[in-house]
Structure 1
Amino acid sequence: MTEKLAIVKIGGNVIENKTELSKFLLLFSKIDGAKILVHGGGKKATEILKKMGIVPKMVGGRRITDAESLEVVVMVYAGLTNKNIVAELQANKCNAIGLSGVDGNTIQAHKRFVKDIDYGFAGDVDGINSETISSLLNSGLVPVFCALTHDGKGQLLNTNADTIASELAIGMSENYETTLYYCFERKGVLMDINDDESVVKHIDSESYKKLLDEKIIADGMLPKMENCFHALNKNVDKVCIGDISMLDGKSELFTTITL
């Protein structure tokens, strides 16, 4: 029987709320079996950039990572945010290890090609080192990945955390039955953005097309859903989207996505 693996991506609004983050990390630490946590830290990076007198550059909600911004992103993601999360997991008796895609050559990427917009030192994932990650899991460690990768030539790259979570789930599906959890401040995909209880409990390929046509799924949810179906089409077992309560094993109010 194939071992199960939970890959959980935590959203920025939860990371910035200390109370919610502590609740989440406690729930995450209680997940049975193999697990991986993925996080970003963009809001804190933006806050520190502004304190330094640097105006963050954004286009369509995506960060333009110039050399100056990259230095701050690395400090915040791999340093402040990652180590605070790992420390709290250790306090919860969860033997976590903080990583970026550079460490152990775990996530390889390339600098995003310039089309209409130059995103600077933004990375698009090429593949993951499942053997190294599996060895960590088999030794009882819980990897905590920040949203940084590298190009194999010494260049660090800022990479979308949703994408990292999706690619990790895909790469690890060769050896595990993987479930991908996108955990953020909403209870799931909502029929009505103004009604937190209007959760669409199950979405498959057919119902997804209908929700797109009706513009119920739009804006910021679109890239997240694209990552979901990309993962499912690459052998990930299922994807769940919701708030931290979906991890407690009791709540049924979240969205499950399957093919």
Structure 2
Amino acid sequence: MNKLTIIKIGGNVIDDPKSLDLFLADFAKRTEPTILVHGGGKIATQIGNQLGIEARMVDGRRITDAETLDLVTMVYGGLVNKKIVAQLQANGINAIGLTGADGNSMLAKKRPVKEIDYGFVGDVVPEGVNINLLVSLLNQGIRPVFCALTHDGQGNMLNTNADTIASVLAVALSKSFDVELVYCFEQPGVLSDFESKTVIPVLDPDNYHEYKNSGIINSGMIPKLDNAFDALNAGVGQVRIIHFSSLNNNQSGTIIQL
């Protein structure tokens, strides 16, 4: 099988133009088929504040009412996505920016209301990925760049977690490629000591649960790691969590394994 890398870049890197430039220059040096997934939450919040649209969050998740959906569609699918695509073109990479609605590339279901109504938020599964479209693009040397938006097939865009999109893409495409999933962000990996930046080199389910129960691994890292283990259990070859400047260093960061 041909190798495919799916890379998710964290929002803090996107917020900083110098960091993003560095990351995209490294991304452009890669020769194998690659898909990029990005968020853009802080930029959406900043522009929302300018427009008088207040961000409402529950456990770190954005409540997406109709007004907020318009905002994130403009920011994720427009401003952030097209800036990234334009920068990749400047680096000699033929990239195409996608929401899940484009080419029906990722179909999702609106999250059902339980204790919390998250609004227009999508839950996506591998069966919703248009594998044929993505394989065709990759075979033409085009690099898809996904923002954190899917659609429900009934005319509605859906705000969707970028970590989850990356994981689901990795699982869906593992039927056609030997897939590596890489989460890039502003830390050097999963940390056992935040102050000294001590990296956990290898994380398996047993020590993950130990670190989580002791509170060493907490908050936003937990859903990221849950997505990582889900991907491995569903057939993805390898998952790494690394600093955004170490994209092409295969020895860096944390390797997630079963």
C-alpha distance in 2, partners of 1:133/1:109?
Answer: 17
Q: Partner residue of 1:203?
A: 203
Q: How far apart are residue 234 of structure 1 and its match? A: 0.4
Q: Partner residue of 1:145?
A: 146
Q: Partner residue of 2:237?
A: 237
C-alpha distance in 2, partners of 1:212/1:68?
Answer: 36
For the 8 Å contact 1:8–1:38, the answer to whether it is kept is: yes
Q: Partner residue of 1:40?
A: 39
C-alpha distance in 2, partners of 1:214/1:176?
Answer: 37
Q: Partner residue of 1:21?
A: 20
Map 1:221-236 onto structure 2 (within 5 A). 221-236=221-236
Q: Partner residue of 2:134?
A: 133
Secondary structure in 1 matching 2:26? helix
Q: Partner residue of 2:183?
A: 182
C-alpha distance in 1, partners of 2:174/2:48?
Answer: 37
The alignment-based identity, stated in percent, is 54
Q: How far apart are residue 214 of structure 1 and its match? A: 2.6
Moved over 6 A (4+): none
Structure 2: which amino acid aligns with 1:149? T
Map 1:204-219 onto structure 2 (within 5 A). 204-219=204-219
Secondary structure in 2 matching 1:109? strand
C-alpha distance in 2, partners of 1:82/1:206?
Answer: 37
Q: How far apart are residue 41 of structure 1 and its match? A: 0.8
CA deviation vs aligned residue, 1:54-79 (integer Å, no higher than 9, x gap): 21111111100000011010000111
Structure 2: which amino acid aligns with 1:158? N
Moved more, 236-245 or 171-180: 236-245
The answer for unaligned runs of 5 or more in structure 1 is none
C-alpha distance in 2, partners of 1:17/1:183?
Answer: 14
Q: How far apart are residue 212 of structure 1 and its match? A: 2.2
Q: How far apart are residue 148 of structure 1 and its match? A: 0.4
The answer for unaligned runs of 5 or more in structure 2 is none
For the 8 Å contact 1:188–1:255, the answer to whether it is kept is: yes
C-alpha distance in 1, partners of 2:171/2:212?
Answer: 24
Map 1:56-205 onto structure 2 (within 5 A). 56-126=55-125, 127-196=128-197, 198-205=198-205
For the 8 Å contact 1:199–1:253, the answer to whether it is kept is: no
Structure 2: which amino acid aligns with 1:43? K
C-alpha distance in 1, partners of 2:145/2:49?
Answer: 27
C-alpha distance in 2, partners of 1:32/1:208?
Answer: 33
Q: How far apart are residue 247 of structure 1 and its match? A: 1.1
C-alpha distance in 2, partners of 1:253/1:137?
Answer: 26
Q: How far apart are residue 29 of structure 1 and its match? A: 1.0
Q: Normalised by the size of structure 1, how large is the TM-score?
A: 0.96
For the 8 Å contact 1:31–1:247, the answer to whether it is kept is: no
For the 8 Å contact 1:179–1:238, the answer to whether it is kept is: yes
Structure 2: which amino acid aligns with 1:167? V
Secondary structure in 2 matching 1:153? coil
For the 8 Å contact 2:2–2:177, the answer to whether it is kept is: yes
C-alpha distance in 2, partners of 1:208/1:41?
Answer: 28
Secondary structure in 2 matching 1:27? helix
CA deviation vs aligned residue, 1:160-181 (integer Å, no higher than 9, x gap): 0000000000000000000001
Secondary structure in 2 matching 1:124? strand
For the 8 Å contact 1:149–1:159, the answer to whether it is kept is: yes
Structure 2: which amino acid aligns with 1:131? N
